Structure formats: C-alpha cells, structure tokens
Amino acid sequence: MIQLVLTDLDDTLVCHGLPRATDHALAGIRALVDAGLHFGPVSGRIPNDMAWMFDHQRECYATGAFCNGQMVYVDGELVHAEPLDGDELNRLAEFLTSTGRGILTMFDVWKGDIKTAGYFVTPDAAHAERMLARFGAAKRWVRRLDEPSYLKANIHVDGTREEQAEVRDWLRDEFPSMDFVFPSNQAPLLDISPHGWNKGSAVEVLVRELGITLDEVAAFGDSENDLAMIRVVPNAVAVANANEQIRKAARWQIGASADDAVADALFAIAEATRAGEMPSFMQA
C-alpha cells in the first residue's frame, strides 16, 4: 500500500495561473493525513513559498523536499541540505553576463512565512537593468555572492524553448559540477542543483527517514525537473499535461492539472488505504 504521497507543485498539483492549491486539493491532503499517510511537496520552490501555496496549513508541507531536493524535511525537521558552491555560482554569473543569454537569480531560503523575492547576480549594471526590464522577477541585483554556499538558484534565460535548451546543454558542458533542468514546461527558467543531486535523491532520503520502501511511494510530476523522481519511484504518475519524457517514464497516468486531477488522486489513495488496497488508477 501507499504510505507516502509526493507531488510537484507548478502545473501538477497547482495549475498554472492559480495562486495556491485549491480547496479540493487541501481537503485531499487532509484525507491522506487522516488515513495515516505522509504527504509532501517535492518542488523547485523554496520553503518560504509553501505557506502561501498551501493557505498556511502546515500539515501540507511539514514533510517534503524543496529547492529541487536540496532541502529535505520530515515532520517539520530539516533532515538534509545539499548546497551549491558560492565560487562556482559567481563563475556562472560572470559566464552568463559575457554571453548575454541569461542571468543568475538567487533566493533566500526559510525566513518564516515571508515570501521573498529573488535577486539577480551580475557584475554588469547594464545587464542587470536589461534583465530586470525583461523578466521583472527580481527586486534588486548584486555584483557577486559572498557566502561559501547557497541553497536555491536558477537562471532566467532569453529565447525560444529550443534556444533555452541550447543554453541548458552548453551550461552542462561548461559547469559539470552543477546540473541544469527546466522546472516548468512554460517558464523561461533553468533550475540549478549540485551535480547528481535531484528530486530523486531527495525521495531516497525521505524513504530512509520514514523507514518505508520506494514501492510504498506515489509521486506526481509534469516537467524535466521531476524526471529523476519519476524514474526512482515505481508508482510514479504523470498528469495529462506532462511533457513526453515524464509521460513515458511514469507507470501511471491521470488527468490534467487544470482539472485538479492530482487532488482527485489524493482522495482515491486515502480511500484505498483505508480499505487496505491500491487505488484504482494504480491497478493494471
């Protein structure tokens, strides 16, 4: 039976354009918890975002993995952190500035329930102003990072999706100590994580900490940064709007994020658990 339910957020549990998880989804999470299961988001987002995304209902995000698995929590306790190297991030910021194709964006992690804005990193003021005008995602910029390690970084990148994929691929070649993935099928972003560390790595930490097996995990996803999680979990589920990679890698398929399909699946898992069964959408 399923003991742990994990889900990506953007375009999976939370449909694009919505400010937070729906009331139906929140009720589904409560049904899981009432049935004795653990639930957790596994997201590229920072822990700060969880409060507003789950209407300040802490039981919805006390367990989970954030920053693409770089921060892993169990029952409100941080059990693992996998940082990025500050010197490598500075080198990346300079490289992006020299090419003009994107800009490094950093985020502060856990500061209570305050939603904090990102900030750009570039040695070139003109580059910062151009990217601020282009993306409007950062309220400020700095020339260099001054800490030895960081827990959340991404890149706002110009161009079509094909051009963004080209940037991703040559960054992988230029910076082998880091991995670069799309966190969304729509947003012009590349998420950064330490090489070899991903959402799948975080799932393995969660399984170990909870004393369960991977067969007892259900995981939902839609985009490239979910792929490692989808591949490591036998009962992986793709939403209908997932990209082709995710649909091929997932064992099970459900409806679209726009139809709150994950919320429906949460209720089905809770009901099946009470009956000592697997949910119907996980039966061949």
Q: Provide mean pLDDT across the span 222-243.
A: 97
Q: Mark 23-57 as b/e (b = at least 16 C-beta within 10 Å).
A: eebbebbbbbbebebbbbbbbbbbbbbbbebbeee
pLDDT on residue 117: 72
Q: Provide mean pLDDT across the span 112-127.
A: 81
Q: Residue 142 pLDDT more than 70?
A: yes
8-30 pLDDT, tens per residue?
999 999 998 899 999 999 999 99
Q: Residue 144 pLDDT more than 60?
A: yes
Number of folded domains that form the chain: 2
CA distance 284 to 282: 7
Q: Residue 138 pLDDT more than 90?
A: no
Of 160, 176, 194, the position where a domain reaches its end is 194
pLDDT on residue 108: 86
Predicted model pTM:
0.94
Lowest mean pLDDT among 118-132, 215-229, 249-263: 118-132
CATH number at residue 211: 3.40.50.1000
What is the extent of the structural domain holding 46? 4-81+197-282
Q: Residue 196 pLDDT more than 70?
A: yes
Q: Residue 105 pLDDT more than 70?
A: yes
Q: Work out the pLDDT band at 132, boundaries 50, 70, 90.
A: confident
pLDDT on residue 112: 59
* 139 and 217 assigned to the same domain: no
* 166 and 89 assigned to the same domain: yes
